[in-house]
Chain A
Amino acid sequence: MASLSSSAAAARATFMPSSCQSRPAGGGRMARLVTRAAASSPKLPSGRRLRVAVVGGGPAGGAAAEALAKGGVETVLIERKLDNCKPCGGAIPLCMVSEFDLPLDLIDRKVRKMKMISPSNVAVDIGGTLAPHEYIGMIRREVLDAYLRSRAEGAGAEVVNGLFLRYEAPKEPNGSYLVHYNHYDSSSGKAGGEKRTFEVDAIVGADGANSRVAKEMGAGDYEYAIAFQERVKIPDDKMKYYEERAEMYVGDDVSPDFYGWVFPKCDHVAVGTGTVTHKPDIKKFQAATRLRAKDRIEGGKIIRVEAHPIPEHPRPKRVAGRVTLVGDAAGYVTKCSGEGIYFAAKSGLMCAEAIVAGSANGTRMVEESDLRKYLAEFDRLYWPTYKVLDVLQKVFYRSNAAREAFVEMCADDYVQKMTFDSYLYKRVVPGNPLDDIKLAVNTIGSLVRATALRREMEKVSL
């Protein structure tokens, strides 16, 4: 459920803890890992290559499998539903297109304008600071996932249609994992699939928020939001409004701790909302979101209803032995905006690169320490982004007054520029200090005014 319009700079200027280094998150490939390429771990017997199972064929799994296969590792990608339309906001940042070499025809729509709507319907347009080549790409998950999987296959990975069941840990230190799965093969005629096993040296769990690999390895639970979405086909003249525009609604009626959205898809819109703390009321929040967007989706037909959990924070354990988690399975979804696709793909890529480096291109056995290197690198690169969004959520999503201030802040050009920069390129760029101070003052001013109005509101009796 990706989106943006978080005033990243506001939080940076006002609330950035001193311990947080905002180093530019660019490049940082694992050059230093190669020099320590597991010279201590044993060479694989009889010159066989390292075998890795990637469980889950979404963005994380696809990116991981491709990088592993390219690096000379024998890769098996297990996906339970090859035509899966995973419920998703479907927004990807610009850097994903360049970092993963995505062809532009994958992108259904280029969103260049966003409308932020406060609880009292104050509407702010953002996107005016975007350069002509900048946009938020809206994709269909079934299209993106299939593309990444086909690239993995092209690089040499084996894509298997099956459901991962469980794995057995090795009995000796350098033994293999035994993966049990249900193999689906339409030609065999078996309805439920046949149980099969195979041996691998390492497992990458990329099977999403309800990860089975995570359960098997005892990774622990996380808090999660329920995101609920209805796909609505609206008349063409109304669809024109959403040509390049997405909307974000904030308010207690729409969600107590998240936001409601209207995102354009290929030929329809997705209207949805989410919540962590009030999951049983999700239908009420959805009705409220539909009400707020009523005039613009009137006459639309709901063609699909979908829901999915979104993790709120990483699992307590992300690696155990030679099994590790990436993407939603690990819990790499940002707060405030709920963005997950890019971090899933990037974490899959980084995990694969760590495995390739730690195994010296598939010739040596990997160890848990190699997988921990991927965790360390990922945490180092993206911790500032996650922390900033967490602070934004804590400050701006806690009450209607805070949300009013939030929307007011979004009207500021500097905020828009910083927000888009940090979203599109995933870098926390230090801005002009004078502007930052002005921004901090404006933020505090907005919050104070909104809180003051809130106190007046309590006195009003209608």
Chain B
Amino acid sequence: MAMATSTFSPPASQLALRRQPGAAGRYHLLSFPRLRAAAEEAPVEAPSKPLPSPAASNGAAVKAKEPEPTPLPRFRDSRWVNGTWDLKQFDKSGAVDWDAVIDAEARRRKWLEDCPEATSPDEAVVFDTSIIPWWAWMKRFHLPEAEKLNGRAAMIGFFMAYFVDSLTGVGLVDQMGNFFCKTLLFVAVAGVLLVRKNEDIETVKKLIDETTFYDKQWQATWQDEPKN
């Protein structure tokens, strides 16, 4: 696999300012990200003027000019050409090495997340992840997960079948014919798919609240409508 050939990593001081990826990655499906590890103000920012209170005045003409922040190293990679990945450089025995493309893009995004850059119309980024074929994504991300989930489902299935058989004496084939057992099977499959960590149960509950929260805010004024 070709090594990424970017010259250097973003300076450690900049990395410290951005949030820790571990904490931020688990966004689940909540609309507001949790407060992350507090980031200090960038050391080069001038002490900020107090924000004008909106009631008093709407704005002010600016007098002071903030000092320019030190320039950050830009993202560079020999395979990143004209705002997209040059697929010819990802050659592996004749075909494109999609895994390397995915790795390179992940690295680029991580770099830019830690060290945001100015955009420029001359070097516009036009890379679209949909050029990577679906089977590359499948092989890389879905299959290991599917293997894990199938394994869990199989284990649960085997022991539940054994357990029910030992309790009721109903064999596996007869179990399948029963509606109640089919329902339990459905619940087990759904559970394995949706609940992968203990926190997922809370997430599903919060999700249900979230989807209706905005509706409730809009209907608030009708709660105290005088009934006439």
Query: Which A residues between 281 and 327 are near B, CB-CB below 8 angstroms?
Result: 281-284, 287-288, 291-296, 302-309, 313-319
- Known A-B contacts A283-B45, A313-B218, A369-B228; the reply to A120 vs B118 at CB < 8 A is no
23 contacts between A and B (CB under 8 A): A85-B58, A120-B108, A122-B127, A122-B128, A229-B59, A252-B113, A278-B35, A281-B39, A287-B69, A291-B116, A292-B116, A295-B121, A303-B62, A306-B59, A315-B221, A394-B31, A398-B30, A449-B129, A453-B129, A454-B25, A462-B9, A462-B15, A462-B111
The smallest beta-carbon distance between B42 and chain A, in angstroms, is: 7
Residues of A within 8 A of B39 (CB): 281, 284
A304 to B59, Cβ gap below 8 A? yes
Residues of B within 8 A of A294 (CB): 118
The proximity string for B residues 1-37 relative to A, scoring 1 for CB distances below 8 Å and 0 otherwise, is 0000000011000010011011011010111110100
B221 to A316, Cβ gap below 8 A? yes
How distant is the Cα of A17 from the Cα of B214 in the complex, in angstroms? 13
Asked if B92 CB lies within 8 Å of chain A CBs, one says no
B106 to A460, Cβ gap below 8 A? yes
Asked if A74 CB lies within 8 Å of chain B CBs, one says no
A120 to B125, Cβ gap below 8 A? yes
Asked if A235 CB lies within 8 Å of chain B CBs, one says no
**Interface on A for B, CB 8 Å cutoff?**
17, 84-87, 117, 119-123, 209-210, 220, 222, 228-230, 241, 251-254, 256-257, 276-278, 281-284, 287-288, 291-296, 302-309, 313-319, 335, 368-369, 372, 375, 379, 383, 386-387, 390, 393-394, 397-400, 404, 408, 411, 445-446, 448-450, 452-460, 462
A456 to B113, Cβ gap below 8 A? no
Question: Within the complex, which residue of B25, B52, B65, B105 is in contact with A455, where a contact is CB–CB below 8 Å?
Answer: B25
Residues of B within 8 A of A316 (CB): 217, 220-221, 223
Residues of B within 8 A of A314 (CB): 217-218, 220-221
B124 to A123, Cβ gap below 8 A? yes
B120 to A295, Cβ gap below 8 A? yes
B218 to A86, Cβ gap below 8 A? no
Question: Within the complex, which residue of A295, A369, A387 is in contact with B119, where a contact is CB–CB below 8 Å?
Answer: A295
How distant is the Cα of A277 from the Cα of B32 in the complex, in angstroms? 7
Residues of A within 8 A of B113 (CB): 119-120, 251-253, 400, 457
**Interface on B for A, CB 8 Å cutoff?**
9-10, 15, 18-19, 21-22, 24-25, 27, 29-33, 35, 39, 41-42, 45, 48, 51-52, 54-55, 58-62, 65-66, 69, 102-103, 105-114, 116-121, 124-130, 132, 134, 137, 140-141, 210-211, 214-215, 217-218, 220-226, 228
How distant is the Cα of A446 from the Cα of B22 in the complex, in angstroms? 22
How distant is the Cα of A398 from the Cα of B31 in the complex, in angstroms? 5
* Given contact pairs A120-B109, A394-B210, A455-B141, a sample of 7 additional A-B residue pairs in the complex whose CB atoms are under 8 Å apart: A281-B39, A295-B121, A315-B220, A375-B221, A394-B31, A449-B132, A462-B114
How distant is the Cα of A287 from the Cα of B48 in the complex, in angstroms? 11
A230 to B62, Cβ gap below 8 A? yes
Q: Which residue, of B19, B109, B110, B117, has the highest number of chain A Cβ atoms within 10 A?
A: B109
A122 to B27, Cβ gap below 8 A? no
How distant is the Cα of A84 from the Cα of B107 in the complex, in angstroms? 48
How distant is the Cα of A460 from the Cα of B32 in the complex, in angstroms? 25
Closest residue of chain B to A442 (Cβ to Cβ) is B130
How distant is the Cα of A84 from the Cα of B30 in the complex, in angstroms? 38
A302 to B119, Cβ gap below 8 A? no
- Known A-B contacts A283-B48, A393-B31, A408-B130; the reply to A120 vs B103 at CB < 8 A is no
B119 to A121, Cβ gap below 8 A? yes
- Known A-B contacts A117-B119, A383-B218; the reply to A304 vs B60 at CB < 8 A is yes
B126 to A123, Cβ gap below 8 A? yes
B124 to A399, Cβ gap below 8 A? no
B60 to A305, Cβ gap below 8 A? yes
Question: Within the complex, which residue of B33, B111, B132 is in contact with A256, where a contact is CB–CB below 8 Å?
Answer: B33
How distant is the Cα of A305 from the Cα of B65 in the complex, in angstroms? 12
The smallest beta-carbon distance between A14 and chain B, in angstroms, is: 13
The smallest beta-carbon distance between B101 and chain A, in angstroms, is: 11
How distant is the Cα of A404 from the Cα of B54 in the complex, in angstroms? 33
B118 to A293, Cβ gap below 8 A? yes
B129 to A450, Cβ gap below 8 A? yes
B21 to A288, Cβ gap below 8 A? no
- Known A-B contacts A257-B33, A398-B29, A462-B114; the reply to A319 vs B221 at CB < 8 A is yes
Closest residue of chain B to A303 (Cβ to Cβ) is B61
Residues of A within 8 A of B114 (CB): 462
How distant is the Cα of A307 from the Cα of B137 in the complex, in angstroms? 44
